[in-house]
A and B are shown apart, each in its own frame.
Chain A
Amino acid sequence: MNLSIKVGLGSCGLAAGAGEVYDAIEKYLAENKLNINLQKTACIGLCFEEPLMEIIANGEKSITYGQVTAAQIGDLIEAFQIGKPIPENVVLSNFMVASENENLQKQKRIVLRNCGIINPQSIEDYLARDGYKALEKSLKLERKEIIDEMKNSGLRGRGGAGFPTGLKWEFAYNAQNDKKYIVCNADEGDPGAFMDRSVLEGDPHSVIEGMIIGAFAIGADEGYIYCRAEYPLAIRHLKKAIVDAEAEGFLGDNILGTNFKFKLHIKEGAGAFVCGEETALMASIEGERGMPRIRPPFPAQSGLWSKPTNINNVETLANIAWIILNGASEYKKYGTEDSPGTKVFALAGKIKNSGLIEVPMGIPLKDVIYGVGGGMKTEKPFKGVQLGGPSGGCVPASLLDTTVDYASINKTGAIMGSGGMVVMDTGTCMVDVAKFFLDFTQKESCGKCTFCRIGTKRMLEILTKITEGKGKIEDLQKLEELSENIIKGSLCGLGQTAPNPVLTTMKYFKEEYLEHIKEKKCSAGVCVALQKYEIIADKCIGCTVCAKKCPVNAISGEVKKVHFINQTECIKCGICFDVCKFNAINKS
């Protein structure tokens, strides 16, 4: 039997301990002098089951084990070798019962076609799966033909706004200039989303190939990948991929023997959410503060260093090679009329199967969350799902029949965004969530537009007041007025969408705002200032520990007698609750 073993070493795998598992396997193979081919791959999307280890026999029979520990690997390998594989913790397999087989069957993987399968640092692995064939094919086409193919595919930009990619390429193609740029937006600023990270870590060549084809089509000879610095592994894989692609003649001068040349650079971000906005991103590449510029002129006319520039998101670019190879009509078989193709989503929060999935557009949200996502993580029921990050909104349970396409999601007041889906249960306070996002946008506002800079701050102040039980009923109207003005008075998408999280939670979860304001109560038990700590007289034995630890001396009582918390002095720090050994403190 010819065996090989793959371990998922994406950021998520590493954080779950896959590095130790890999080392342990290496050691085990060496100690037992086993001739087994050990390979590295990245994230297949089943992040909740990390660390993952796949054992493959003769390139056919395969088992992927989940939540593998270094201690188990010897047993797993040995059992597999003697033909009696251990049946527990099998997440994927083509011949055994496996918990996640169905999960993967419900997906359609175009962008993620190679993720978790190939070694992302090996250009040979990529080439073996039709890598750079689309480039070869493109170089034989007329540039206009490529653009028409993109237009026919109906692919819409995956960076958030959903602008048709073919059309964008056509603008850049039509721009007259002997210098043009193509830029890949890998800033992935939405806190709670990790699609682009996984693609860059798991299949960097697919993004690079998409960029080269785009550059050829629009007539660019230089490109930049702007990647956020919080993704060191993605940057490392990209750097290696660029060097390898240069060595193979896919980048550089005379690409594949033609006179097309293209040079690709990586720019590391320096930590600013607004730099995901295309004009701010270009300012940042130029070495300036990342402040958005007024459009028009659009980047296709005047972008980087005032040259025509085309900017696309990572996931958009990862679709390109597939479309060229398989054709626009094949692509359009997936998805809807208005939103063709597939979309990658990052599932996180209180969902069971947190990780990365790719589904055809048009599937109902319900099927994403309860089907592929496996439903809720704990017994607490579903409350809402946040789509689109700081620019998006919270969709309530009553709207879970909404289908995943640009128009339907916009109707709810949320946006498709880049694909972050954070699932919330009844333990999440929606006012707190709104406050969380405003805190974020307020900090990340670049400060250029007054309404965005000061308006978001005022909104945050009001929301903070409400979560502290000091809100007034008029505050709700003030929030609406401020929202309207911020939307109107901001130059870029950051300000124009910043009020969305507040507006959607006020629309769908108004009763929670009213509860905080009128009853000074937070049913989810999240808002600290509204919590109340009381001593349960039956359980208190008068050990005095809580009184000694209370930082504001709000607890009184004699030794061996029931203690008492003075509510006006209590600062709700929760220390008494934590230190009481007799569960005599009630938190409500």
Chain B
Amino acid sequence: MNNQKAIDGIIAKYNGKKGALIPLLQEVQEIDRYLSKDAMRYVSEKTDVKLAQIYGVATFYTMFRLKPQGKHIIRICKGTACHVSDANSILKQLRETLQLEGDEDTTKNGIFTLMEVACLGCCSLAPVMMINDDTFGKLVPESISEILKKYK
């Protein structure tokens, strides 16, 4: 594994701090933008936290991603306000435009990963999606391809 140095640095930073496992894993995740099995195993070896515990935490929270991610993360809101404002048609359009099949969530060229989330807190602009840190509201299916063009 080629990230050992970076991970060592993160472990050192949190050494001895209580309740550090989640922020530690969040930082480790930032290196590759997902948590690989190797990375989790390495953290376990270096910290004496049992691998089962690390894996338990990583699978419990949706922020932890266990598969390689696309360059841009699209979060489509499936909260109540968006649901009643037909977020499903936006989701359908996104999956079509990104040519995602079955339960795929990352495009074949690795540019986009699509995630469904519950509420982005912009319910008054439903339906809403976020690409990286940018929020887009009052979406209609026709607006999707135009928005996606801005991201390469």
Task: Judge whether B85 is part of the interface by a CB distance below 8 angstroms.
Answer: yes
B residues 5-60 near A (Cβ < 8 Å) are 18-23, 26, 56-57, 60
Interface segment out of the listed A264-272, A405-413, A449-457, A504-512: A264-272
The answer for the CA separation of A346 and B75 in the assembled complex, in Å, is 21
Query: A199 to chain B: closest CB distance in Å?
Result: 11
If the complex has contacts A192-B81, A286-B19, A350-B84, are A272 and B62 also in contact, measured as CB distance less than 8 A?
yes
CB closest chain-B residue, reference A424: B84
Is the beta-carbon distance between B60 and A287 smaller than 8 angstroms? no
Residues of chain B lying within 8 A (CB to CB) of residue A348: 80-81, 123-124, 126
B residues 105-144 near A (Cβ < 8 Å) are 117-126, 128, 133, 135-138
The answer for the CA separation of A188 and B19 in the assembled complex, in Å, is 21
CB closest chain-B residue, reference A12: B122
Contact of B137 among A16, A194, A231 (CB under 8 A): A16
Query: B30 to chain A: closest CB distance in Å?
Result: 13
Contact of B80 among A188, A273, A422 (CB under 8 A): A422
Is the beta-carbon distance between B84 and A346 smaller than 8 angstroms? no
Interface residue range, chain B: 35 or more
Query: A434 to chain B: closest CB distance in Å?
Result: 12
CB closest chain-A residue, reference B85: A349
If the complex has contacts A15-B128, A47-B125, A190-B119, are A436 and B23 also in contact, measured as CB distance less than 8 A?
no
The answer for the CA separation of A193 and B84 in the assembled complex, in Å, is 14
Is the beta-carbon distance between A232 and B133 smaller than 8 angstroms? yes
Is the beta-carbon distance between B84 and A194 smaller than 8 angstroms? no
Is the beta-carbon distance between B123 and A354 smaller than 8 angstroms? yes
B residues 53-107 near A (Cβ < 8 Å) are 56-57, 60-64, 75, 77-81, 83-85
CB closest chain-A residue, reference B14: A287
If the complex has contacts A349-B84, A350-B84, are A188 and B121 also in contact, measured as CB distance less than 8 A?
yes
If the complex has contacts A47-B125, A286-B19, A287-B21, are A191 and B84 also in contact, measured as CB distance less than 8 A?
no
Query: B138 to chain A: closest CB distance in Å?
Result: 8
Is the beta-carbon distance between A11 and B22 smaller than 8 angstroms? no
Query: A83 to chain B: closest CB distance in Å?
Result: 34
Query: B135 to chain A: closest CB distance in Å?
Result: 4
CB closest chain-A residue, reference B17: A287
If the complex has contacts A231-B121, A422-B81, are A286 and B18 also in contact, measured as CB distance less than 8 A?
yes
Residues of chain B lying within 8 A (CB to CB) of residue A446: 60
Task: Judge whether A440 is part of the interface by a CB distance below 8 angstroms.
Answer: yes
Residues of chain B lying within 8 A (CB to CB) of residue A354: 81, 123-126
The answer for the CA separation of A12 and B84 in the assembled complex, in Å, is 18
A residues 284-324 near B (Cβ < 8 Å) are 284-290, 305
Residues of chain A lying within 8 A (CB to CB) of residue B120: 11, 230
The answer for the CA separation of A15 and B82 in the assembled complex, in Å, is 14
The answer for the CA separation of A12 and B119 in the assembled complex, in Å, is 13
Is the beta-carbon distance between A192 and B80 smaller than 8 angstroms? yes
The listed residue with most B CB atoms (<10 A of its CB), out of A286, A354, A422, A446, is A422
If the complex has contacts A15-B128, A348-B124, A348-B126, are A230 and B57 also in contact, measured as CB distance less than 8 A?
no
Query: A469 to chain B: closest CB distance in Å?
Result: 18
Residues of chain A lying within 8 A (CB to CB) of residue B135: 11, 14-15
Residues of chain B lying within 8 A (CB to CB) of residue A50: 124-125
Residues of chain B lying within 8 A (CB to CB) of residue A433: 83-84
Is the beta-carbon distance between B121 and A197 smaller than 8 angstroms? yes
CB closest chain-B residue, reference A190: B119
Is the beta-carbon distance between B122 and A194 smaller than 8 angstroms? yes
Residues of chain B lying within 8 A (CB to CB) of residue A386: 80
The answer for the CA separation of A446 and B60 in the assembled complex, in Å, is 8
Query: B141 to chain A: closest CB distance in Å?
Result: 9
Is the beta-carbon distance between B124 and A12 smaller than 8 angstroms? yes
The answer for the CA separation of A191 and B137 in the assembled complex, in Å, is 16
Contact of B122 among A11, A267, A270, A271 (CB under 8 A): A11
Residues of chain A lying within 8 A (CB to CB) of residue B75: 230
Contact of A230 among B60, B80, B83, B117 (CB under 8 A): B117
Query: B34 to chain A: closest CB distance in Å?
Result: 14
The listed residue with most B CB atoms (<10 A of its CB), out of A48, A347, A349, A433, is A349
Query: A533 to chain B: closest CB distance in Å?
Result: 16
Is the beta-carbon distance between B80 and A349 smaller than 8 angstroms? yes
Is the beta-carbon distance between A191 and B80 smaller than 8 angstroms? yes
Residues of chain A lying within 8 A (CB to CB) of residue B83: 433, 436
The answer for the CA separation of A422 and B62 in the assembled complex, in Å, is 25
The answer for the CA separation of A231 and B117 in the assembled complex, in Å, is 13
CB closest chain-B residue, reference A578: B141
Residues of chain B lying within 8 A (CB to CB) of residue A340: none
The answer for the CA separation of A437 and B119 in the assembled complex, in Å, is 13
Is the beta-carbon distance between A349 and B61 smaller than 8 angstroms? no
Contact of B56 among A14, A188, A230, A289 (CB under 8 A): A289
The answer for the CA separation of A232 and B22 in the assembled complex, in Å, is 17
Query: A384 to chain B: closest CB distance in Å?
Result: 10
If the complex has contacts A230-B117, A232-B133, A270-B63, are A389 and B124 also in contact, measured as CB distance less than 8 A?
no
Task: Judge whether A229 is part of the interface by a CB distance below 8 angstroms.
Answer: yes
Residues of chain A lying within 8 A (CB to CB) of residue B77: 191
Query: A541 to chain B: closest CB distance in Å?
Result: 25
Is the beta-carbon distance between B121 and A272 smaller than 8 angstroms? no
Query: A304 to chain B: closest CB distance in Å?
Result: 9
The answer for the CA separation of A478 and B126 in the assembled complex, in Å, is 34
The answer for the CA separation of A356 and B124 in the assembled complex, in Å, is 9
Is the beta-carbon distance between B124 and A284 smaller than 8 angstroms? no
Interface string of A411-431 (1 = CB under 8 A from B): 000000000101010001000
Residues of chain A lying within 8 A (CB to CB) of residue B133: 232
Contact of A12 among B57, B64, B125 (CB under 8 A): B125
| Interface residue ranges, A against B (CB under 8 Å) | 11-12, 14-16, 47-48, 50, 188-194, 197, 229-232, 267-273, 284-290, 305, 346-350, 354-356, 386, 389, 420, 422, 424, 428, 433, 436-437, 440, 446
25 CB contacts below 8 A, A to B, read A11-B120, A14-B135, A15-B136, A47-B122, A48-B124, A188-B121, A190-B80, A191-B77, A193-B123, A194-B122, A230-B75, A230-B121, A232-B133, A272-B60, A285-B19, A287-B20, A288-B57, A348-B126, A349-B81, A349-B84, A349-B126, A354-B126, A420-B80, A422-B84, A436-B80
Given contacts A11-B121, A347-B124, 12 further A-B contacts (CB under 8 A): A12-B124, A12-B125, A12-B137, A15-B125, A47-B124, A188-B121, A192-B81, A193-B119, A230-B75, A267-B23, A354-B123, A420-B123
